[in-house]
Amino acid sequence: MEYGWRVLRDPHATVFLLPDDARRLIEPLRRRWDPVMADQIAAHVTVTYPREIAVLDELLTRVAKAVAHVESFSLALGNVYVSDDGTAVLAEVIDGHGGFARLRAAVLGPAAPPGRPHVTLVHPRTSDRATEAWADLRGQSFDLDVEVHDVAVTAFNGERWVTVERFELRPAGPVADPDENGRAETNRELRREFVEAAEDRSRHDHGRSLTSQELKRRTWVTRQESTAPLQAATHFCAENP
């Protein structure tokens, strides 16, 4: 597809962080450690990748249909972590109430794996400072809830990632899964429960302490095991902007 006079490629379904949240916490780090990517696209969470839907028109059609069945939802930004190969630095995104997984399933089909949502802080395609950034950011956690009300279809025009079209999600109804007091848990409370569960598992792992990377994987599996199979915990996809 052409956008103006440029041919677009590599379409993604993308959730952008709300500007105030991104400007306050995420964008300063991206501009420090990966200014090229920060100039190409704002802070975001990728929902689908070109390897999953490669044709822009098809992605537009699927997202347009999907949003009719998916309500607005919230995500939580958590710990900063590094990819297994050490070339990318990312912020984990916790899908505490399953909205991200539901959106992926609505676009890709019910058999789609839930994925591992994240915000890329340092991308290997546009920055070689991952080692330096990780040394500076290791141990940092954002502890921030992010509201998601729409999904954008983005594509690369040869210079930057442009938004082809935005689609509004359905307004959110009452939050499900209240606790024993009838109160819905927040993403932050869910995050604490996931970490505590993972730490509890580590204490019973044949009497040895888990490494930080193993603990991260356990935390993620604890969160996802009730919904769907998990993709590789810290695999970073280079096609993700």
Confidence class for position 230, pLDDT limits 50, 70, 90: very low
Confidence class for position 36, pLDDT limits 50, 70, 90: very high
Q: Output the average pLDDT for the chain.
A: 80
Q: Is residue 154 part of a domain?
A: yes
- Name the 3-class secondary structure at 46: strand
Q: Is residue 216 part of a domain?
A: yes
What's the pLDDT at 15?
A: 97
79 versus 1: the higher-pLDDT residue is: 79
Confidence class for position 1, pLDDT limits 50, 70, 90: low
What's the pLDDT at 104?
A: 97
Q: Is residue 40 part of a domain?
A: yes
What's the pLDDT at 6?
A: 65
- What is this structure's pTM? 0.74
Q: Which residue pairs, CB below 8 angstroms and at least 24 apart, start in 193-199? A: 194/94, 194/219, 194/222, 194/223, 195/219, 197/222, 198/222
What CATH number is given to the structural domain containing 68? 3.90.1140.10
> Per-residue pLDDT tens for 135-190?
999 999 998 899 999 999 999 999 999 999 999 999 987 654 445 454 445 555 55
Q: Is residue 68 part of a domain?
A: yes
Say yes or no to pLDDT of 106 above 60: yes
DSSP tally for the chain: helices H, then strands E = 8, 10
Q: Is residue 229 part of a domain?
A: no
Confidence class for position 133, pLDDT limits 50, 70, 90: very high
Look at the chain and report how many structural domains it folds into. 1
Domain of 27 in residue numbering reads as 9-173+184-224
Say yes or no to pLDDT of 218 above 50: no
Q: Is residue 150 part of a domain?
A: yes
Residue 77 half-sphere exposure toward CB, CA atoms < 13 A: 26
Cβ-contact 164, 155 below 8 angstroms: yes
